[in-house]
Each structure stands twice: as C-alpha cells, then as structure tokens.
A and B are shown apart, each in its own frame.
Chain A
Amino acid sequence: MLLGFIRKIYKEERYYKSMAYTDFELAEDTKALLQNNPDVKCSDALYQMLMGIEDDAIVKVDKAINSPIEILSIEEVTDEVFAAL
C-alpha cells in the first residue's frame, strides 16, 4: 500500500514536471487571469498571497498547462530573486 502511494506521488510529480513551465508576468496580469478565467486552478493561499502583491510588481509564475491551467507557485521577482535566476 505504501509502495502504491509512493508510485502515485512519483507519477504525479513526473506529470507536473512534464506539463509545467515558468512564466514572468506583471502581478496585475496574473490577477486578471484569475479574475477572468474561472477555469484556472489556484490554491486559496496562493491567491491571497498574489492579491497582497503590488499590481506593477513582476512575478515568477509556475503553471501546469492541463485542462484547466493550474498555477503551481507564485514568487515576487525582487532584485535578489532575479539575481538568483
């Protein structure tokens, strides 16, 4: 049973890695995506975090392009974050 669970997680991780990509956007554009495309999946925690970011900030967004699009992570791009890219 444990082996099955591990296999499931491994398969899901491989699946998301194969479908995921990173996009750089203005925070206001990511907010507009979430407000205008009801199919986009995003956790409440990520949504709340995004809403606390200034509209003109740059965000690094990891997305999985499935049906529907899923936002996996959001990170504000500060000078330090950009330097680490």
Chain B
Amino acid sequence: MNKIPYSHLFVADAAFFSETEQAVLLQLLRIRLTSAHIKEFHNTVLDVEFKKIGDVSHSVGKIKAAFKVVPVPEFLSDEDNEISTTIRYAFSLTDDPPYKAVILTSSEAHKLYLENPHFKGSAIQILSGDSATTFVQNLYRQFTRAREQSRMQ
C-alpha cells in the first residue's frame, strides 16, 4: 500500500488524553504508520506534557503507540508557559511537509490556546472534543480508501 500524504501532523497535550476514546488513539496509530511524512514525527507529544498524564482512561502503552514522546527542543528551553511551548513546538514542525499541524487538546484547555499570543497564522489548528475526533476520522478515511484501492489492485 502506498503511504498517504496526510494534510496535517498531530501534536497532543496531556489534557487531550483525558477525553479521548481508545478508538481514536488506534486511528491515530494507523495514521502515523501509513504517513508519507516521517512517521516518527507524525504524531508527537512533548515529554513535559507526557509526564503530566496522570490517571487517564488510557494506559501509557496506548499513548506511546499512537504518539512519539519527544524532548522539548533546545530553542524552547527558556519558554516557561506550557501552552506557548506546545504552540511554538507545533509551529517548528510546519517547517517541513505537510507544513500544517493540529494541536489536539481538551475542551477546557482549548480557549487557552486561542488566547495565547503565539497562536497566529493558519498553519496551526487547535482542536478538541468532537471536532478533534471528526478531524482524525476524516484523515483515517483517507487510509481506509487507500487500503480498499490497494486491495482491488
């Protein structure tokens, strides 16, 4: 099966995992593995966020399967605002294809991202709740279509 040039990369914060279903994580794993972009960085979570994941419904194993835990890049070592860190990290990913990223968060934290002064431009989207689930499902449909096509060949 040909790898799929998905339109966006995913960056998650700790809050996202508190309201995400297991099925969505499995779809995110599938998207990561079938990405035409560097699969290691298609779905990432910063280690500072990963360490905050407490008693969520998903075990760490599922999260680590769907997302790569990455260290905070050096250029963000002086950044002390967690929301700004995630936004600036996501922007750093838009330096390469597909040039767009989605930050997945919780409905509660969503507003904090929108109000952050670093959140500008159109390369980054903030999604939570149903809109996050729908977005992931739409990308996942690209995979199911590609799989059907490859099975018909």
Residues of A within 8 A of B (CB): 24-26, 28-29, 55-56, 58, 60, 77, 79, 82-83, 85
Which of A58, A79, A82, A83 is within 8 Å of B33, CB to CB?
A58
A-B contact pairs, 29 of them (CB 8 A): A24-B29, A24-B33, A24-B65, A25-B33, A26-B1, A26-B34, A28-B1, A29-B33, A55-B1, A56-B1, A56-B34, A56-B147, A56-B150, A58-B29, A58-B30, A58-B33, A60-B65, A77-B29, A79-B26, A82-B22, A82-B25, A82-B26, A82-B29, A82-B62, A82-B65, A83-B22, A85-B61, A85-B62, A85-B65
Q: B15-32: which have CB < 8 Å to A?
A: 22, 25-26, 29-30
A45 to chain B, nearest CB (A): 24
Q: Across the interface, which residues of B come within 8 angstroms of A56, CB to CB?
A: 1, 34, 147, 150
Q: Across the interface, which residues of A come within 8 angstroms of B25, CB to CB?
A: 82
- In this complex, what residue of A is CB-closest to B65? A24
Interface residue tally on B, bucketed by range? 10 to 19
Q: Across the interface, which residues of B come within 8 angstroms of A58, CB to CB?
A: 29-30, 33
- In this complex, what residue of B is CB-closest to A60? B65
B111 to chain A, nearest CB (A): 32
Task: Let me know if B59 is at the binding interface, CB within 8 A.
Answer: yes
Q: Which of A25, A77, A85 has the most CB of B within 10 A?
A: A85
Q: How far is the CA of A58 from the CA of B25 in the complex (A)?
A: 13
Are A85 and B59 interface neighbours, CB within 8 A? Answer: yes
Q: Across the interface, which residues of B come within 8 angstroms of A60, CB to CB?
A: 65
- In this complex, what residue of B is CB-closest to A79? B26
Q: Across the interface, which residues of A come within 8 angstroms of B34, CB to CB?
A: 26, 56
A23 to chain B, nearest CB (A): 10
Nearest 9 CB-CB pairings of A with B: A85-B61, A85-B62, A24-B65, A26-B33, A82-B26, A56-B1, A56-B147, A85-B59, A85-B65
